[in-house]
Structure 1
């Protein structure tokens, strides 16, 4: 028997992609794992599983390294947590039903359901031993020509569980409820006490934990950044052309295929207490929000004259560097990033390399982030399609179909009704 490896990681769990073979392949190829609840922890060992030819098989495993906002799956909205994977390993696919040797007929409920932590050491060792005995150097991509993917495959429930109704070992773990809350409206976007923007800014990193504070810089200075405007024949700025985001987030990812730096333009929008009717929201979305996001996207897209783009980039890069130089902690943070990218760099060269990385990011790695109090899936898809239509300069990226990215987050204000269990993970909320 092989030596158990449980001391090399925190928990052991199985991530089941149901019969969505495309998601399974993407997880392994992109080295990322998505979870429907916040159950996973850094350092967990994850075995990737999928149903193929009516059998649940496993062909890869890896360690959860850090949270990420990268979600390559078509049904990305279903996954509340996404993790980067390190130390990924491959094997010839084997059937997870081998766990029945230890867990009996209820093996799927005991070890697979909801990606729960596997606490049975004997099961952990069996998984490890079977994986090691089938280990390979390359990932065995599963053909999409096999099982047809239906809408039911996105339910998160695996096929085998349905067979256990009436089994004496059958049990469904109930959700633990922390308490009850009621959704209330923000007053507006900027109110100091109950405004969306100040509250999100204050709690940004606790709210969006996939943005690692050690690998991002949040510049939450409203109206600090504005694009270069266009003047008419009388040398007067044309109204409505400039774009001014509410905040800027510079993120760092050494493994990025575009650029290690990403420029995120953040726009806060809030219907609040005044825009509560459907027609009001419709008019505001189409007359204000979408045009504003389009201005941001066009600022750095090839649809804008190159000279205007360069002037905007010059101004924004200077302001970012000035902001960093005013904060010793930011200087230290950025120095680590640049030294990781260029190990042999001299200290006096860091700012010059930082400027270059920022310029490359403005030309190849831009994302618009909308933070709002209400948004439907259809509205999100529409805005994403619009923003993605703005192309970036491909000469600064290996991606030949490079475009402005879009992300959105709905933030709600909840008022406590009652707390029943402070250790619970879930809560119930209602909105009138």
Structure 2
């Protein structure tokens, strides 16, 4: 367990959203479950802290306008509040370059005296409820929030001194890599789907193997595909996802989520922008819409319930073939319902998975190229489909690329450079 300072720069909006939604977003890898974080912000020429919490499970909830900046997000648990206090006293422990030592990249603070001082000062200012930081009367406050935060800037003339005082501020590169295309989506040796399935939990630390179950059976599920418009049933198109992911989090309002995974790959054959655009608009987006419509209220309820029942039955059959999966999923059920008898666990698994299809469905696209504009377009399209609960179907996308090693110089460092 490490102690970190999550610094929101000058963004009062992001700071308040972290508090409102009890989530923390990080721009780099490193933070882990159970780490202690202090939430800080530059506000009116002070560096203020008003929250201390422990990191819970990873989450997909990213309420910030600049959510794409964050590579990992965690629920905040064991939350405590303080009357916002200035943390610039850390200069006594970190010296002239204390922001680089303690704030940069929400790194783990190794100075135990600095950590203890943070806890002690927080305890002196602790209050029961969050204390809001209000925007000033400056009409340009939003523009100021978008300005670069100068707290972590380094004068090039002081670079040698910085590296001497804070050697961890330097980004050390482990090696160099060349991006090469996947052959296609389904190739057994160099296909995106097979390589991602084999390395799923190494690629996506957001999904813990202990808190999720990947079902990479692309022919196991088949949606009925009948769409209802008004009272008239219109025959639709059958849809098969490439995989299904069951995600469990005891701290979420809806502990179970279902993600329908679609792998798509432009590969070696679609390299031009127009080819990619045509494929995305003509095949990928319609396919994702078919997934969403099968479980949305646009589909007749009887057909929708029939599809959900069929899929839930197949998921349960898949689980009960493997003792490891039975133990894992049963453990989740017992965690949220410890008094439930063993005889009723199977029935509860059926209920919670059914409810996940009705209330917490996600469409997860894993692809080798996608622009921000294309992602926004697909997000808006998928979120237009409503579930029985009234919630929108969520859309999540990941870009995965195949990298070939050029040279590795230091395998123990965190960063690498790649060239396309």
| Same-fold status (TM-score > 0.5) | yes
Aligned CA distance change for structure 1 residues 300 and 25 (closer, same or farther; 3 Å): same
- Determine which of 359, 363, 368 is the counterpart of 2:358: 363
SS in 2 for 1:19: coil
Q: How many angstroms apart in 1 are the aligned matches of 2:136 and 2:364? A: 36
TM alignment of 1:327-342, pairs within 5 A: 327-342=322-337
SS in 2 for 1:316: helix
Matched, 1:126 2:117: yes
Report the equivalent of 1:253. Answer: 249
Query: Does 181-190 or 62-71 show the bigger shift?
Result: 62-71
Say how many residue pairs are matched: 408
- Determine which of 314, 318, 325 is the counterpart of 2:320: 325
TM alignment of 1:287-366, pairs within 5 A: 287-366=282-361
Q: How many angstroms apart in 2 are the aligned matches of 1:80 and 1:282? A: 26
Contact 1:302 1:390 in 2 (8 A): yes
CA RMSD of aligned residues (A): 2.3
Aligned CA distance change for structure 1 residues 145 and 47 (closer, same or farther; 3 Å): same
TM alignment of 1:81-160, pairs within 5 A: 81-144=72-135, 148-150=141-143, 153=146, 158-160=149-151
Matched, 1:412 2:401: yes
TM alignment of 1:8-87, pairs within 5 A: 10-87=1-78
Report the equivalent of 1:189. Answer: 185
Matched, 1:178 2:174: yes
SS in 2 for 1:149: helix
Aligned CA distance change for structure 1 residues 102 and 138 (closer, same or farther; 3 Å): same
Contact 1:52 1:146 in 2 (8 A): no
Q: How many angstroms apart in 2 are the aligned matches of 1:221 and 1:151? A: 50
Contact 1:92 1:134 in 2 (8 A): yes
Matched, 1:403 2:392: yes
Contact 2:10 2:144 in 1 (8 A): no
Contact 1:106 1:169 in 2 (8 A): no
1:138 Cα offset (Å): 1.2
Q: How many angstroms apart in 2 are the aligned matches of 1:154 and 1:382? A: 27
Q: How many angstroms apart in 2 are the aligned matches of 1:417 and 1:239? A: 52
1:16 Cα offset (Å): 0.6
Matched, 1:205 2:201: yes
Matched, 1:215 2:211: yes
1:161 Cα offset (Å): 3.6
Summarize deviations over 1:141-185 as a string: whole Å, max 9, x none: 223456723487475xx4334486766954472211010100000
Q: How many angstroms apart in 2 are the aligned matches of 1:217 and 1:165? A: 48
Report the equivalent of 2:230. Answer: none
SS in 2 for 1:314: helix
Q: How many angstroms apart in 1 are the aligned matches of 2:44 and 2:18? A: 19
Matched, 1:392 2:387: yes
Aligned CA distance change for structure 1 residues 201 and 57 (closer, same or farther; 3 Å): same
1:219 Cα offset (Å): 0.9
SS in 2 for 1:387: helix
Query: Does 344-353 or 61-70 show the bigger shift?
Result: 61-70
Aligned CA distance change for structure 1 residues 170 and 393 (closer, same or farther; 3 Å): same
- Determine which of 222, 226, 236 is the counterpart of 2:222: 226
SS in 2 for 1:213: coil
Aligned CA distance change for structure 1 residues 189 and 153 (closer, same or farther; 3 Å): same
SS in 2 for 1:340: helix
Matched, 1:286 2:277: no
Summarize deviations over 1:396-420 as a string: whole Å, max 9, x none: xxxxx51100000000000011100
Summarize deviations over 1:282-317 as a string: whole Å, max 9, x none: 111100000000011111111111111011011101
Contact 1:19 1:149 in 2 (8 A): no
Summarize deviations over 1:51-105 as a string: whole Å, max 9, x none: 2222210001122334333322221111112223332211100011222344444
Q: How many angstroms apart in 2 are the aligned matches of 1:20 and 1:320? A: 43
Report the equivalent of 1:427. Answer: 416
Contact 1:42 1:66 in 2 (8 A): yes
Summarize deviations over 1:196-216 as a string: whole Å, max 9, x none: 000001111111111111111
SS in 2 for 1:214: coil
Aligned CA distance change for structure 1 residues 69 and 118 (closer, same or farther; 3 Å): same
Provide TM-score, normalisation by structure 1: 0.89
Contact 2:176 2:417 in 1 (8 A): yes
